[in-house]
Amino acid sequence: MKSGFNGRFAFAAAILAGAWALAQNAPVRQQGVVSKVDAAANELILKTDSGDIDVKLQAKSSVRRVAPGETSLANAAAIALSDVNPGDRVLAVGKTGDDPKTIAATLVVVMSQNDIAKKQAAERADWDKRGVIGLVTAVNPDSIVISVRSQTPGPPKSMTITPEAKAVIKRYAPDSIKFSDAKPSTLAEIKVGDQVRALGNKSEDGAKMSAEEIVSGSFREIAATIVSIDAAEHIMQVKDLATKKAVTVKLGADAKLKKLPPQMAQMLAARNRPAEDGGRAPAAAEGRGGRGSGGGRGAGGDLTQLLDRVPNVTLADLKPGDAVIVLSSVGAQPDQLNAITMLAGVEPILTRPGTRQMELGSWSLGGGIGEGEP
């Protein structure tokens, strides 16, 4: 009995030892963007999410270039390390050296920065031609209905979107505005009030789309006054003008922070103001889609394009008491916002004529989905 126990113990120990050996010999994978290439020294520096990694090629290392979108090495081309350039994306496979920030690579897979840029340009052109952005107004078991901003004066138009059998459906993560962070989703997760970006073939009258890709998300827009600023942490405490409650706004690396020049703010305020208050015209008469439907449109062109021409500012350009409009993703906590766009210098826009009262009203920075995407 004792010898049987010892035998089973020895067998189990052997299995554990084998598993440990396999784990120790398992290849390490590191991916990131190339910041430096030293072909003479057979190494490159890779910038990853966890910091810089020194990738050292071995005598029999293989360097392969793949096209963006490829999922295997079947069509990869063998290249020299000197063909790799800063800005290229790389997957390095090998073993970690004595220094955890060093990897002895046996395989380096390269995706050219130029190839990525060309693919992204082609995708953007396709989205511009066949894509649509809108606010969800109805949800059915096999389709959704969105309100689409009109390209001509008039109210928004409705479009029914039906996903194809193999359509890709994704949803933005609750606390991220990055397209790359969007998770696989289903049509059932989309709800009224969400914003949707879809790509597919539209009917001639623009009332229907057979979608190849659908990306949805919940977004929120508030008008607020700044209470305090923590520039080091990129965090701002604000007071929501509608609810009078405190809200924490985080400005990540991808957030846009802009400040309207006084003259532009006055111009936009007049455009947004109802005609009976001395404004130009109601928003719908200028083709505006309403809050969350893609922003305003008027004599000066699309609002989003207009704001793109406004220079970026930093938190150092703002101070407590300033009014801001914040477009954000909807996170897990209602009192914490992850900003997509923050616009300052908006006091003329928010102030009701003849009063000191400020409110968001019908103003909108536009749709949150697809800022610079795909």
Question: Distance between CA atoms of 280 and 268, rounded to whole angstroms?
Answer: 10
Q: In this predicted structure, what is the pLDDT of residue 238? A: 95
Say if strands 43-48 and 28-38 run parallel, antiparallel, or are unpaired.
Answer: antiparallel
Q: pLDDT digits over 277-326, tens only?
A: 444 333 322 333 333 333 333 333 356 567 777 888 999 999 999 999 99
Q: How far is the C-alpha of 229 from the C-alpha of 46, rounded, in Å?
A: 34
pLDDT at 296: 37
pLDDT tens digits, one per residue of 332-349: 677 888 888 899 998 998
Task: Name which of 341, 314, 301 is nearest 325 in CA terms.
Answer: 341
With a pLDDT cut of 70, the percent of the chain lying above it is 77
What number is the average pLDDT over the span 34-39?
93
Q: Spell out a b/e string for 316-345, using b for 16 or more CB atoms within 10 Å of the CB, else e.
A: eebeeebbbbbbbbbbeeeeebbbbbbbbb
**pLDDT tens track for 15-25:** 444 444 444 45
Could you give the angle at the alpha carbon of 29 between the alpha carbons of 36 and 71, nearest 5°?
95
Q: What percent of the chain clears pLDDT 90, i.e. is strictly above it?
A: 44
Give the residue with greater pLDDT, 235 vs 371: 235
Can you count the helices (H) and strands (E) in the chain? 5, 20
Single pTM value for the model:
0.62
More confident of the two residues 298 and 157: 157
More confident residue, 42 or 272: 42
Band the pLDDT of 142: cuts 50, 70, 90.
Answer: very high
Q: What pLDDT shows up at residue 78? A: 92
pLDDT at 319: 94
User: Which of 101-110, 167-176, 300-309 has the lowest average pLDDT?
Assistant: 300-309
Question: What tens digit of pLDDT does each residue of 203-262 get?
Answer: 999 999 999 999 998 888 899 999 999 999 999 999 999 999 999 998 887 788 999 998
Residue 315, Cβ density class (10 Å: 0-12 exposed, 13-18 middle, ≥19 buried): middle
pLDDT at 79: 93
**Mean of the pLDDT values across residues 7-34?**
59
DSSP class of 311: P
Predicted local distance difference test score (pLDDT) of residue 245: 92
Helices (H), 1-134: 2-25, 113-130
The whole-number pLDDT of residue 363 equals 66
Q: Residue 26 pLDDT > 60, yes or no?
A: yes
Mean of the per-residue pLDDT values of the chain:
80
Q: What is the pLDDT of residues 62-103, one digit of tens each?
A: 999 999 888 888 888 999 999 999 999 999 999 987 788 899
User: What pLDDT sits at residue 59?
Assistant: 86
Domains in the chain, start-ordered, CATH in brackets?
11-17+23-111 (2.40.50.140), 127-218 (2.40.50.320), 220-350 (2.40.50.140)
Look at 152 and 39; give whichever has higher pLDDT: 39
**CA angle centred on 176, ends 69 and 261, rounded to 5°:** 105
Written as six digits, the tokens of 81 are 């390390």
353 or 366, greater pLDDT: 353
274 pLDDT above the threshold of 60: no
